[in-house]
Amino acid sequence: MRRRRRQSRICGRCRAQWRTIVAESFKEFLNRCSKGPEIEESVAAANRTILKEYLEAQTRNAGKEDEDAEKESTVFGDIVQIWSYANQNNSMSSLSMVPTTMTILVRLCSYHDEFKTYGTTLIRTLLRPTTLKIVYRGLTGNKDHIVSPCLRLLTEMNRFNFGAMCGAVHSAFDFTVKDLPRNLEVKGLTKPTVEDPARPSVRTVYLRFILSFLLNGEPSVRNEVLGLRSWTTPIFKHLKTDSAVILHEFLECMTMKVLDEKEIPRATKTNFFNEWTLSHILSLYSREETVMVSKAGKEEEKKVADIAHEFLLNACTKSGAGICFPDHGWYPPGHSDGEEKKKNAPKVHNRILSSLLASIRPYADTMQLDLALGICKTCPELVADHFLSNPTFSFEPKLTSTWIGYCTFLVSVITIPIPENFGAPMALALPPPTSVIVENIIPKPLDKTGLTKCLTNENGLIRFFAIRLLIAAFQKLRSVLDALDTASSAVHDPTESWKKCRFDVVEEFCRRIPDASIVSSIGSGKSDSQGLLQIEAKTRLLADYYTTLPEIASSGRFDINIALGYFLENEDSNQKGMKLLEMGHLLKIANEVPDVKWWNKTSTMKHSPFVAILKRCCSSAANAPQRQVLALLHSFASSSYLFQAETSASPLDALLESLSTIANSENLGAILSFLDEVVARCIRGPFKYLDDYAEIAAGLQNNTSEAAKLSPVSPIVMTLVEQWKFFIQSKDYSSQQKAGGLRWLLRLMESCAILGENRFVLAVLCDRVLDDSGTMKEGIRELKDYLLQDSGLELTSDDDMQEDGVAVGIRDLLTKLRKRCVDVRIAPLLIESVRHRRIEATVFDVTVVQRAIVDIVKCSSNNSADAVSAIIKLTELTKYMTFQLISQGNKSVEKTKAFIAKESPCLHAFLTTPVTAGKLPEIAALSHGYAELLSVIFEKDDPILESARQLLSGRLVTFIRELSSLSEENLPKVKHYL
């Protein structure tokens, strides 16, 4: 008996070894059925022929067995028998070898069309209950070398023929088998694993098995797999330990087949990607390993952290997709019109993202900052909810990376744009809650105590960050107040709820910001430690206080006269840009403060503030800070008696232009000192000079009626001429300085005539200058003749070229040569400069170009063809300058349109110049250019255009009469130019 038992055991081992050898041989044969480095295609094709005969023999009775499913299968009976025997006898090598061999066979059947029918039959055989029991036993065991082949086989069955059998696998597989999720567990491993791609872990193979359902299954299959909660927990619990390769595969699959899949219900997505799972994906931000990814057909390395970041952005920041639900912006649920307020209504629509936002650390790294900001921008409701619901971050001033990072996050949140209609789908009768609005302007961590500590801290960087935060808050406050005013005017508001909301927002904002006196005292006694950036930021913040909250700012201890004087005394030629910014902020403050001493200089000041600002503006390149400074300069200068205000072009621009042409610093210093005395005298007694002008103008009305139609001469010009003799007689100035002063004065007077001031009065003033100039009389008579004769100017000849290397401006079209003329050769250069914003045009510049066109038309000695060509070039220059002015918005649009429609020299030239045969081409080009300018600037029903329309309608009648009186030989010219 013992001998028989021993022989039986030996025979059993032999049979097991024989079956293992058969399986191994079959595996090697299958590997030789595909072309490879050591296998030629002819050999592989021959082997596939043999394989086909084998598969045909194994599946010969497949159709009959399908009819009798209860009968034991003989399809692929050899394979099933070997696997079943190995299972009964615990033959570990066979239990591993058989599924490995079946995996290769299924893959072969999938790759070759002639084998796909056999592959389908094989998979159905493997999905029979008797065979699946063997699979379940292998999956629930603790032998990795058996679990992995079974999982690979199931994965390959899902992939077969692009997922053709995925539904069958899903239907047959029992997902409730007790110990299946155990394969996703990781024991005693806390650090990321580095796997051999050829020998992945059981967890990695199991993840690929799960992903195969998502990649190959129908939406219904994916929906059910995503609902398996017993699998979800271990998948994400140990996600941080997975290798970089499987993480990339997992997140890419979740993006394409879940998040971006519209057929997957939103409920499934939100149940699967809840705050717990998202927080585990967020933990991947610390992973620095790289993985090769394919993008647009190119391979590139990408960090795991970047892959996780892209996934979370895709999931959390696409409204209406992923897990991001559309919200109502600053209107919480239950607050909008037409919504019933529920007792247990959620505070926000996006509760998952609200919980995730609480776990993000935006101060830790830039990716978490980008994610937090992306969520806040996409779901504006979460900003207030985040700061109101979560524990307040301690804003005690500590110069740490965490504190600096949190400051950056707060600034970024504050600068998020206001949602349209505050996030509501349409304009509502009720404003958003005040608490929500305030949290979007100045979040809860920024309270008065903390900000005051930051502003008074000894560290300059802490002070700078606090100033930056407050500047951003003021900018947001202004935007919000404008939006509230717009919304209030657009709805019927009998209860004035919008106005009350506006008041409450300002009141709460004032409670959270430091006093203005704290801001004005920043850096006091520490001037050496303040850099240019901090000084400029402090001044900007003070300007925000004065322009936005003047009542709060007035309580501060800030003397603008002292600050402005100190600033103007200390020039730094190496920091012109920053100084212009700072000066703009000081001028904003000065505009809000009464009793600013613009015209008086102290004992320590070289010039008065007004003249010192003129000097800075005329010596700086055109840029955005200068535009702001010039706008503020115009605002306070217009309220004085220095300049007339009847013309759209400002005499202040003419004054700045004339000063900018003075190249010699000694001449400029002398002229500015003289100008300082003149300004102070004119401010003290402006009516004297107004009366002087009135007396001259009254005397001229008897000689010419045109003088009464012109605008008055600015009082500052009258004062300059009166005081000119003292400048000439002064021993403090050299003859060179006096000659430079004369050239400057004549240029200023000519510019005043160009912009529309009374040229006849200016001609009288030329006589006074001539009498007081002694031996220096160059250019005075020429200017007087130009003012009185008004007979136009010739075009520049080739012999009268200007010097190279000299900066060219619009005003240089009217040359400063001995023989006055129009230099059209610089027009192309000017057009390019205006187009590329190297020249910031003003209404005065437009006036100069229009005046040049009129001078060309009036001059009788110009060649007709050359004159028309010049008019066309200057008209094009006018268009570009006009477009630039209109694009600036605000008052410049109104001024520009008013000038073109009412004061344009081209308009008046067309109205007054008679049509003659000699002047027909020039007048036709002028009228055509002006009409084209009107058509591109004005809308058809623009009310400003009405005045020009009335003037032109009357002129066209006489214009046609004058044309009809010409001979027939001139009519072709009319057709050509019109």
* pLDDT at position 586 over 70: yes
Structural contact between residues 355 and 326, judged by C-beta atoms closer than 8 angstroms: no
**What residues are paired with 294 via a beta bridge?**
299
Give the separation between CA 600 and CA 597, rounded to whole angstroms.
6
3-state secondary structure at position 510: helix
Quote the pLDDT of residue 35: 80
Of 563-572, 633-642, 691-700, 967-976, give the lowest mean pLDDT range: 967-976
Closest CA to 831 of 865, 866, 882: 882
Structural contact between residues 737 and 730, judged by C-beta atoms closer than 8 angstroms: no
**What residues are paired with 715 via a beta bridge?**
none
Tell me the C-alpha to C-alpha distance, in Å, between residue 408 and each of 363, 371, 461, 464, 532.
8, 14, 13, 12, 21
pLDDT band at 414 (very low <50, low <70, confident <90, very high): very high
Start-to-end CA span in the chain (Å) = 128
Of 191-195, 240-244, 522-526, 556-560, give the lowest mean pLDDT range: 522-526
Instruction: Calculate the CA 696 to chain-centre distance.
Output: 57
What burial class does residue 407 get, using C-beta atoms within 10 Å of its C-beta: 0-12 exposed, 13-18 middle, 19+ buried?
buried
Q: Pairing between strand 290-295 and 794-795?
A: unpaired
Give the separation between CA 603 and CA 639, rounded to whole angstroms.
26
Q: Largest alpha-carbon pair distance within the chain?
A: 154
Give the separation between CA 391 and CA 371, rounded to whole angstroms.
20
pTM > 0.85: yes or no: no
Per DSSP, the residues of 845-867 read HHHHHHHHHHHHHH-SSS-HHHH
Of 458-467, 511-520, 543-552, 570-579, give the lowest mean pLDDT range: 570-579
Q: What is the pLDDT of residues 155-166, one digit of tens each?
A: 999 999 999 999
Give the separation between CA 901 and CA 930, rounded to whole angstroms.
10
Quote the pLDDT of residue 622: 43
Q: Pairing between strand 794-795 and 298-303?
A: unpaired
Q: What is the pLDDT of residues 446-480, one digit of tens each?
A: 999 999 999 999 888 999 999 999 999 999 999 99
**What residues are paired with 561 via a beta bridge?**
none
| Tokens coding 777 | 């009389």
User: How high does pLDDT run on average in the chain?
Assistant: 83
Q: What is the pLDDT of residues 391-405, one digit of tens each?
A: 767 788 888 999 999
Quote the pLDDT of residue 449: 92
* pLDDT at position 538 over 60: yes
Of 108-122, 586-600, 824-838, give the lowest mean pLDDT range: 586-600
* pLDDT at position 338 over 50: no
Instruction: Calculate the CA 674 to chain-centre distance.
Output: 47
pLDDT band at 184 (very low <50, low <70, confident <90, very high): confident
pLDDT band at 818 (very low <50, low <70, confident <90, very high): low
Q: Domain ranges in the chain?
A: 640-790, 806-977
Give the separation between CA 591 and CA 50, rounded to whole angstroms.
97
* pLDDT at position 307 over 90: yes
